[in-house]
Amino acid sequence: MALLAASVLPGLTACFEPVRAGDEIVETPTAFLCSTVSEPEPRLRIVLTEDGTKYINGVEFSYDQISALSAVVLTIAPEARVNIRADESVATDQIKKLVDACKLGGLDDFIFGSITREDQRALNAANKSEQPSPTTR
């Protein structure tokens, strides 16, 4: 498994690497790269898609990773708010599960909204970059 790095807040990049937890291998935060950024209100923006996939800045995260990341964000920016953008077809239970994951890490101030066209374009672009390019003959 490869090391995953994702920008999660302006000026904060989280690095995740595989760690064995019992019989499972989970991606856990192991390093954080910080820079000073003047942000009037830090927000952890999470997009929840129709199929339940969770993205932060175009990178897919699990509930466990979001909980761990929330704890780090709380340490670095105690005033941070969580901005959850969900597809209109997402069940309320999925949103509650995401809120619980953030609360487990200590973040408890939320803003809710629906996925915007900008969010959808970013997700589509991220998904296209992950697909192999077609070969020509």
- Domains in the chain: boundaries: 38-130
Q: pLDDT, tens digit, for every residue of 5-34? A: 455 555 555 555 555 556 665 555 544 444
Predicted confidence (pLDDT) at residue 128 exceeds the cutoff of 50: yes
pLDDT digits (tens, 9 = 90+) for 58-93: 788 999 999 988 988 888 888 889 999 998 889 999
pTM: 0.64
Residues comprising the chain, all counted: 137
